[in-house]
């Protein structure tokens, strides 16, 4: 059952959401609601480095909707579906965090994200997303059902060929290495990590099937293009990806 303990605070023009904890789940600048306040949310947008012309994403976990509404505002060619189990979170995100109403390219579904993934693969195998984002923290951390080998296998199955998996994890989690190993197993070792702070959150990317070579030159060019119309330090992300992941001949995932 979804938790109903959702609390809101506001200080210095920043409104934050908490769910069963003192840890901030999501934050928004009241006067600039589409800015990405938290470092991890900017890191999740880092998936734009790896694939041009993304058309459809699926996100499990809405929270305050920072990532979802950023994509809605600044990536108008992307169609999004967001699955959130807690109806109170959905209501608060729309009334207090400026998450838009459903429209032709944005849909929020109240439901169990794990069940949704399984049903999607069975019912609509030809309509799978290109990007799957997981941001499903509760008051304790990432729920156990969202870090099993079976779950990560289901995530891989729910993506199109050449799809990208994105998950937000805590770098200080004692089981991080276990989760990393499971994700690597589901995605045939085609995985990258992007730390967003010290210790902070770590964004993990998994790549399904064949993919275009992730060379330093290509990623730097893509980062410069993205920075021309996004207030996110994509160039720094490229540097961090090469610093924190194995690479040879200036190429990731060789």
Cite the active site residues. Answer: 135
Q: Are 201 and 135 in contact (CB under 8 A)?
A: no
Q: How far apart are CA 165 and CA 132, in angstroms?
A: 5
Whose tokens are 């199109």? That residue is 160
Structure tokens at 70: 């950023």
Question: For residue 196, which of 205, 187, 188 has the smallest C-alpha distance?
Answer: 205
Q: Which long-range contacts (CB under 8 A, 24 or more apart) does 173-179 make?
A: 173/141, 173/142, 175/147, 176/202, 178/147, 179/142, 179/147, 179/204
Task: Please state the separation of Cα 22 from the chain's center in Å.
Answer: 22
Q: Which long-range contacts (CB under 8 A, 24 or more apart) does 71-77 make?
A: 71/45, 72/100, 72/105, 72/106, 73/34, 74/34, 74/229, 74/230, 75/48, 76/105, 77/53
Q: How far apart are CA 64 and CA 25, in angstroms?
A: 7
Structure tokens at 214: 């992730």
């Amino acid at each position: 059952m979804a938790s109903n303990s959702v609390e809101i605070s506001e200080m210095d023009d920043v409104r934050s959401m908490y769910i069963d904890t003192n840890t901030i789940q999501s934050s928004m600048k009241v006067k600039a609601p589409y800015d990405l306040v938290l470092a991890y949310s900017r890191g999740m947008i880092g998936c734009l480095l790896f694939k041009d012309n993304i058309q459809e994403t699926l996100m499990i976990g809405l929270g305050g909707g920072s990532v979802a509404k950023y994509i809605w505002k600044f990536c108008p060619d992307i169609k999004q579906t967001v699955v959130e189990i807690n109806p109170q979170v959905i209501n608060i995100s729309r009334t207090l965090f400026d998450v838009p109403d459903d429209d032709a390219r944005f849909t929020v579904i109240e439901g169990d994200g794990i069940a949704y993934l399984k049903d999607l693969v069975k019912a609509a195998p030809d309509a799978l997303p290109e990007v799957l984002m997981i941001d499903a923290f509760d008051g304790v951390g990432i729920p156990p059902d969202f870090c099993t080998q079976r779950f990560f296998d289901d995530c891989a199955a729910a993506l199109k060929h050449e799809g990208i998996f994105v998950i937000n994890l805590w770098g200080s989690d004692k089981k991080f290495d276990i989760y990393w190993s499971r994700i690597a197993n589901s995605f045939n070792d085609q995985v990258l990590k992007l730390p967003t702070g010290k210790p902070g959150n770590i964004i993990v990317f998994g790549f399904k099937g064949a993919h275009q070579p992730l060379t330093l030159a290509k990623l730097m060019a893509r980062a410069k293009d993205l920075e021309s119309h996004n207030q996110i330090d994509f160039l720094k992300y490229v540097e961090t990806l090469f610093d924190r992941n194995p690479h040879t001949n200036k190429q990731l995932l060789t």
